[in-house]
Amino acid sequence: MKIIGLPDVHGDINKINRLKDNISEADLVILAGDITNFGRRPEMQEMIDLVSGFNKTCISVPGNCDYQETEEVMNETGTNLNGKNRVIENITFVGLGASLPTPFKGTPFEVPEEYFQEKLNTAIDGLNDQSPMVLISHQPPHNTTADALPNGMHVGSTTIRQFIESYQPLVCFTGHIHEGQGIDSIGKTKIINPGPVFNGNYAYAEISHQVDLLEVRPIPPG
């Protein structure tokens, strides 16, 4: 399965249009939060319609810069994976949106650690343990390159890290921390934060029963 991960688009339509060929050729496209830039329903609808126009197999989770009402659009379009799971080509995808409280105080979708625990519990209820898993989480796990600030502080979620340590998904596609670009590991799980799409990067993976390829790739020039 060829997967494109798009965190932190922040409503950048130009970058998505520049990726249209790559998106069209993928088996799955992941919108990993902050799809809009403080957008409401119309902005979320526009972004999902744009991506789905290039590839119908699209799943999404909201980020802290997406108002909570935008989940209604994600539900209506059948893309929302926040607190849910979906099996695609024998791989189970588990989704988690929102972020922990930020220094900016009051972005639209900030939550405590307990929210992550509740959503993850719901998402994995009744799962087949034999199926490979992929985690999509806007908030990165604690203490990896994906959650590191320039001053070296790690601001990721301990709940998400504990989930990864327990369930060992093949990959965690994440974002949120714009400076946390890179690929890291927690046990057997690969963690990828390509940095924000609006800065010109995306995540690319080829997955079967294992991770065959995982890269941070540049968006083609316009």
Is residue 6 pLDDT above 90, yes or no? yes
**Mean pLDDT score across all residues of the chain:** 96
pLDDT bracket for residue 98 (50, 70, 90): very high
Q: Are 86 and 57 in contact (CB under 8 A)?
A: no
134-151 residue pLDDT tens: 999 999 999 999 999 999
- Give 147-150 contacts, CB < 8 A, sequence gap 24+: 147/176, 147/177, 147/180, 148/177, 148/179, 148/180, 149/177, 149/179, 149/180, 150/179
Average pLDDT over residues 147-170: 97
Domain ranges of the chain: 2-218
pLDDT bracket for residue 39 (50, 70, 90): very high
108-140 residue pLDDT tens: 999 999 999 999 999 999 887 778 999 999 999
Q: Are 127 and 95 in contact (CB under 8 A)?
A: no
pLDDT bracket for residue 104 (50, 70, 90): confident
65-95 residue pLDDT tens: 999 999 999 999 999 999 999 999 999 999 9
Average pLDDT over residues 155-182: 97
pLDDT, residue 103, reads 86
pLDDT bracket for residue 10 (50, 70, 90): very high
pLDDT, residue 124, reads 94
pLDDT bracket for residue 25 (50, 70, 90): very high
pLDDT, residue 74, reads 98
Pick the CATH number of 2-218 from 3.60.21.10, 3.40.920.10, 2.160.10.10, 2.40.50.140: 3.60.21.10
- Write down how long the chain is: 222
Integer CA distances (angstroms), 220 to 20, 23, 176, 194, in order: 10, 12, 22, 15
Q: Of all helices (H) and strands (E), which one includes residue 174?
A: strand 171-174
pLDDT bracket for residue 3 (50, 70, 90): very high
pLDDT, residue 129, reads 73
> Which of residues 127 and 96 earns the better pLDDT score?
96
pLDDT, residue 158, reads 98
Is the pTM above the cut of 0.75? yes
C-alpha to C-alpha distance for 17 and 48, rounded to whole angstroms: 12
pLDDT, residue 150, reads 93
